[in-house]
A and B are shown apart, each in its own frame.
Chain A
Amino acid sequence: MADVSEAAAPLGRFDLTRIPAHIWVIVVLLLLVPTFTSGFVQFQIFGWAFILGMISLSLMILAGYGGMVSLVQMTAAAAAGYAVAIFGASAVAEISFAWPWPVAVILAIAISVLVCVISGALAIRTEGIYTIMITLAIGSAFFYFTRQNYTVFNGFTGFNGVQPPQVFGVTWNDPTPFYYLTLACAALSYFFAVYLARTPFGLALQGVRDNPRRMAAMGYNVNAHRLAAYAVAGVISGVAGVLLVWSTGQISPNTAAIGPIIDILVITVIGGINRPIGPFVGALIYVVLRTYSLDVLTALGLDGERFKLLIGMAFLLIVYFSPDGMCGIWDRYITRLWRDPKREGADG
């Protein structure tokens, strides 16, 4: 888990000429997506992929930088979603407080951070499979609790009719505004994750990943660093949770059931768990498969519900050929054909 190549830029000021050409092409294409795609693609494909990508990015920061595979990120996002529904307005008026949206959003992000920090506090003294099991147990507990609690979480049905606010006269869950909103949040999170890798905190986190004992022998409080990483990840999953509830207008226990919890891990591994772009690549593949596999399967005369089989097969193939996901495939096969001299040497 060592190669964080976006992070390997040499020390110095942020230099636009250092960004390789293909990144500029992607940036321009992403900005132009609404000009050549339908509202469905903008909202259901890209919007959803950006949100899932952000939740997966929060896992990538913990796992790729910190070596902690946390399965609580979807739960933290769902907790933020619930907070928006409970503190803001929803169709379940007897529970929702209908407070102004900025208050609900801030509380939502704070609650996501809290969920991550509490889970982190329980998990940071463990490693590997035990971290996975503890965080999965917390996720399951949240799922069953929200399903059984009607006073606060409205049980099995959860909340619907959660609307994003009207700001600057724009309805933010219209496809194009929502596309740009999610793109902006995803881009900010991505650049933050890239930037974080070259900060003292980010470097120390990678040190904790490589060798926690040595980090303690250099004056670092290893557990405090791990916990802070959970808090940082909680901010990103919190923002994603807010966008998630605004996109679907509803939140229920199934948002963070075991399936979606595992999906976040699958997305991150498919894309590449070692670098910030991986989760977004993985999320796009996941969303495209999930959206279109039904049509493909029924066209082939198969049961459309078997889309998970397709995702599972894609997962197996990618992991088999490239343990570091699509980013690894890109490194091995594509960059060999198309090398950018400016990046050479910087990638190490």
Chain B
Amino acid sequence: MAEAAQAPRRDVGAEFALELTGLSKRFGALAALTDISLKVRPGERRAVLGSNGAGKTTLFNCITGDFPPSEGAVRFFGEDITRFAAHERIRRGLRRTYQISLLFNGLTVFDNVYLACRGVSAGRFSMIGLSPRDPLTDAADELIEIVNLGEVRDAPVADLSYGQQRQLEIALALAGAPRLILFDEPAAGLSPKERRELIAILGRMPNHIGYVIIEHDMDVALSVSDRVTMMHNGRIFKEGLPDQIEKDPEVQALYLGSGHD
């Protein structure tokens, strides 16, 4: 977490880290997202809950530029990034992890994290060999320690356990100087012990780094977030503090499977 991104950062006095206005996404006749408006303050930790198909991952994809929204705008620290390419958004301090691990299986843990650090700093095209004096080498090693992967630093990613791959996902998202991270179901498929580790890692994150976390596990989601947004059928259906959402009868009905009218 040593080097700052080069992209200009126009966040002086920005009230919101992330501001979505009227965001919609249609795939043909299917409306995956309808009129989503969402505001996340700098440093805020927001959970996005919802059943399968509620549009949570599509929302992330529209924010990160994996695919463009059909309508609406995405503002990041006050700057309109709706039409920006994915890598331009990342260089401004936006990060994400993926629901299914998207790692570089042919490379080692260190190489993966080093690439993440290099991606948001200068010298991405450098043809000078990696050296221990490179500050990014230290930055990568620091991140590997943060996510407890020191023991497998030089192992190929393909040899890691599922839980370790999820931890590596988080290390990649923490590289550079992130300002807002989108976590897509980081606890999915983890053992109870690994979940506790994940909650600890999220809890140790510096206060200035905000995140939006998609999580099916209510316990994880509510314990790591300041505010909760509920989604249903591509719309925002409720927003509030974790304990309000937990006690909300409509939310309970939705989560118990009786549906929402």
Q: Is B87 an interface residue (CB 8 A)?
A: yes
Would you give the shortest CB distance from A65 to chain B, in whole angstroms?
A: 10
Nearest residue, chain B, Cβ from A200: B126
Chain A residues near B125 (CB-CB < 8 A): 200-201, 204, 225, 228
Q: How far is the CA of A201 from the CA of B154 in the complex (A)?
A: 19
Nearest residue, chain A, Cβ from B110: A11
Q: Is A101 an interface residue (CB 8 A)?
A: no
Are A220 and B126 closer than 8 Å at their CB atoms? Answer: no
Q: How far is the CA of A167 from the CA of B130 in the complex (A)?
A: 37
Chain A residues near B64 (CB-CB < 8 A): 217
Q: Is B28 an interface residue (CB 8 A)?
A: no
Are B96 and A204 closer than 8 Å at their CB atoms? Answer: no
Interface of chain A residues 176 through 232 with chain B (CB within 8 A): 195-196, 198-204, 206-207, 209-211, 213-222, 225, 228
Chain B residues near A11 (CB-CB < 8 A): 110, 130-132, 137
Q: Of B48-56, B100-108, B195-203, B246-254, which stretch is located at the interface?
A: B100-108
Q: Is B86 an interface residue (CB 8 A)?
A: yes
Q: Is B192 an interface residue (CB 8 A)?
A: no
Are A199 and B102 closer than 8 Å at their CB atoms? Answer: no
Interface centre among B110, B114, B115, B120 (most CB of A within 10 A): B115
Q: Is A1 an interface residue (CB 8 A)?
A: yes
Q: Is B257 an interface residue (CB 8 A)?
A: no
Chain A residues near B156 (CB-CB < 8 A): 2, 348
Partner of A210, one of B91, B106, B126: B106
Q: How far is the CA of A5 from the CA of B66 in the complex (A)?
A: 33
Would you give the shortest CB distance from A66 to chain B, in whole angstroms?
A: 12
Chain B residues near A200 (CB-CB < 8 A): 118, 123-128, 130
Q: How far is the CA of A345 from the CA of B125 in the complex (A)?
A: 29
Partner of A196, one of B107, B127, B155: B127
Would you give the shortest CB distance from A347 to chain B, in whole angstroms?
A: 11
Chain B residues near A211 (CB-CB < 8 A): 102-104
Interface flags for A157-184 (1: CB within 8 Å of B; 0: not) read: 0000000000000000000000000000
Nearest residue, chain A, Cβ from B97: A217
Would you give the shortest CB distance from A255 to chain B, in whole angstroms?
A: 30
Are A219 and B130 closer than 8 Å at their CB atoms? Answer: no
Interface of chain B residues 76 through 111 with chain A (CB within 8 A): 85-87, 90-91, 95-96, 98, 102-108, 110-111
Are B128 and A207 closer than 8 Å at their CB atoms? Answer: no
Q: Is A3 an interface residue (CB 8 A)?
A: yes
Q: Is B214 an interface residue (CB 8 A)?
A: no
Are B124 and A206 closer than 8 Å at their CB atoms? Answer: no
Partner of B129, one of A199, A217, A348: A199
Chain B residues near A215 (CB-CB < 8 A): 115, 119
Q: How far is the CA of A10 from the CA of B85 in the complex (A)?
A: 34
Q: Is A12 an interface residue (CB 8 A)?
A: yes
Known contacts A10-B154, A11-B130, A204-B124, A219 near B91 by CB under 8 Å: yes
Are B130 and A199 closer than 8 Å at their CB atoms? Answer: yes
Chain B residues near A217 (CB-CB < 8 A): 64, 66, 86-87, 90, 95-96, 98, 102
Nearest residue, chain A, Cβ from B123: A200
Chain B residues near A213 (CB-CB < 8 A): 66, 102
Are A216 and B116 closer than 8 Å at their CB atoms? Answer: no
Are B106 and A201 closer than 8 Å at their CB atoms? Answer: no
Chain B residues near A107 (CB-CB < 8 A): none
Q: Is A289 an interface residue (CB 8 A)?
A: no
Are B87 and A219 closer than 8 Å at their CB atoms? Answer: yes
Known contacts A2-B105, A2-B106, A2-B158, A201 near B127 by CB under 8 Å: yes
Are B103 and A219 closer than 8 Å at their CB atoms? Answer: no
Chain B residues near A225 (CB-CB < 8 A): 124-125
Are A204 and B115 closer than 8 Å at their CB atoms? Answer: yes
Q: How far is the CA of A13 from the CA of B108 in the complex (A)?
A: 19
Would you give the shortest CB distance from B144 to chain A, in whole angstroms?
A: 13
Are A216 and B124 closer than 8 Å at their CB atoms? Answer: no
Q: How far is the CA of A10 from the CA of B128 in the complex (A)?
A: 15
Binding site for B on A (CB under 8 A): 1-4, 10-13, 195-196, 198-204, 206-207, 209-211, 213-222, 225, 228, 348
Of the A-B pairs whose beta carbons lie under 8 Å apart in the complex, a sample of 5, sorted by A's number, is A203-B115, A207-B115, A216-B86, A216-B87, A220-B124
